[in-house]
Amino acid sequence: MYARMERPSCLPRSSKMNSYITNALSDFFFKYETPRQVLVRNRRVGVVCRLIQLGVLAYIIGWVFIYEKGYQSTDTAVGSVFTKMKGVGYTKVDGEERVWDMADYVFPEQGDSSFVVMTNYIITKGQKMGTCPELAEPSYLCNSDSDCARGIIERTGHGHMTGKCVGNTTKTCEVVAWCPVEDDRVIPDPALLMSAENYTLFIKNSVTFAAYGVKRSNLVEGIDNQYIKSCVYDPKTSPLCPIFRLGDLVQMSGFNFSTIARVGGAIGIVIDWTCNLDYDQSECKPIYSFHGLYGNPKETDMARTSVGYNFRYAKHYMEDKQDKRTLLKVFGIRFDIIVRSVARKFDIIPTLTAIGSGVGIFGVATVVCDLILLYLLPKREYYNNMKFKVTETVEQCDNLKLGINTFIYYIPDVYAGPQVSANIILQNKEPLDEFKSEKEVSME
C-alpha cells in the first residue's frame, strides 16, 4: 500500500525563486549542523584507535616540538671572518740559512677565511728568459734535431721547442723558457718547514642574526686581552679560545703533520653557531670542529694519483737591467674556515601551525578504525547500518512545462494504519494531498 498526496498548486517560478533565496539565507545565518557520532564498544578497535592516537601524540611532542623545535622560528646569520698567523720558521738549504715569517709563508697575506700555510718548497733561483735544454725525461730526450719538432709546446713541458737537440752527455730538446727550467722531481723529505707545527692561528669571527637583532662574536664574555695572550685552544680545557696551534689542528682533523707537511693538504675549520635565543644571549657561543678535506689520511702517497696541495709562486726582480725571478713551488696546508649558523626563538605562528597539523593527523585514527569496522570485522554490515542513516526517496513537483507530477512519497506498507499522522490521506496509488484537514483523513 502506498501513501500519497493530492497535487498541490505549484507557485509561480519567481515566487519559488524568492522563497528558495530566503530559505537559503535563513539556513546560512540561523542554522548549525553537527556530525552524527556512533559509540562503538569493541575492544580491538578501541585499542587500535588509542595506539594510533598515542603514536601521533608521541610524534607531535617528540619529533615536532622537542627535536625539530616546531614552536620556534629560525634565522641564519650574516658573518665575517678575520685570521692572523704568528710564528717564525728557519731553514738551512745548501748551506744557506733563512728565516721565514708570516709575510713569507702565508698566502694570501690579507687574512682571509681561506688561506695556505707553506710547509715545504722547491726553489729555483736566478731564472731569466732565454733558451736552455729541457729536463732529462723520456718525453724530452733526443738524438738529433729531427726528434725535436719546432714550435711544439708539450703539456707538461716548460717552454716552446726551438727544434734543436742540445746537451753533452744527455741530450734533450731545447726550449724557449725561463732558464734554467725547474726540476721538481724530488720533493724534500722531511719537509723544510717542519717548524710550522708550532705556528699559531688567531680567528676572529662575528655573526649577526638580523631577524632578531642579535650580534655575537667568538670573543665571548670572559675573553679579554690577558686571556688571549696565554690561551691555546683545547676542546676540553679551553673550548672558547680563538687561538689554535697548527699541529693540533692537523691532529684533530685526522692527519699526521709530517706527512701532510711534506706534500700539502686541506683542512676545514667549522665554526658552528647554533643558538636558542629563548635563553640569554650570553649562552649563544661558538663550537669549533675540524675536518680533513683532502684525501684519506690512511692512504699512502703511492696509492694516490695526485699527491697533496701545491702551487707556484714567483718573485721578480731586476738584475743587470734584465728581468729575473726566483720560482717557488710551494707545498702547504690549505685552511678553509666555514661558518654555520642558525638561531631559534619562540614564535606563536609556527607553534599554532605545528599544533594544527598535529590535530589534523589525529584523524588518521578515525580513518583506520572506520576501515576496520566497515570492511574487516565479522559484524561489518551491522556497523555499516549504524553509521549511515539512509532516508527514503523523495521526488518533488517538477517543472509545470513538463506536465508530469512527481510529487509522490513512497511509504512502506508497515506505516499504513491508524498510526499515520494527520494531514496524510492513505489512498491506493493516488496523489497524497498534504493540505487537507485532519477530518479528511480516511483509511481504505
- Binding site members for ATP: 84-86, 200, 310-312, 329
Beta strands in 76-141 (DSSP E): 78-86, 89-93, 96-100, 106-107, 114-133
Q: To 10 degrees, the CA torsion angle through 93, 98, 101, 106?
A: -40
**263 in Cβ contact with 301 (< 8 Å):** yes
Cell of 109: 697575506
Query: What is the rounded CA–CA span in Å between residue 178 and residue 315?
Result: 13
**326 in Cβ contact with 126 (< 8 Å):** yes
**121 in Cβ contact with 332 (< 8 Å):** no
Cell of 179: 732558464
Taking alpha carbons only, the member of 242, 254, 241 closest to residue 202 is 242
Cell of 363: 584523524
Query: What is the rounded CA–CA span in Å between residue 229 and residue 251?
Result: 23
**32 in Cβ contact with 356 (< 8 Å):** no
Detail the residues annotated as belonging to a binding site: 84-86, 200, 310-312, 329
Q: To which H or E segment does residue 205 belong?
A: strand 200-209
The angle at the Cα of 142, spanning 150 to 169, to the nearest 5 degrees, equals 130
Q: Find all residues with CB under 8 Å of 108, minimum gap 6, and list them.
A: 115
Cell of 135: 729536463
Query: What is the rounded CA–CA span in Å between residue 50 and residue 38?
Result: 17
**Alpha helices (runs of H) in 177-295, residue ranges in sequence order:** 225-230, 246-252, 257-263
Q: Which residues of 374-389 are buried (b: 16+ CB within 10 A; e: fewer)?
A: eeeeeeeeebeeeeee
Q: Which residues, listed in sequence order, are joined to residue 318 by a DSSP beta bridge? A: 323
Q: Which residues, listed in sequence order, are joined to residue 329 by a DSSP beta bridge? A: 122, 312
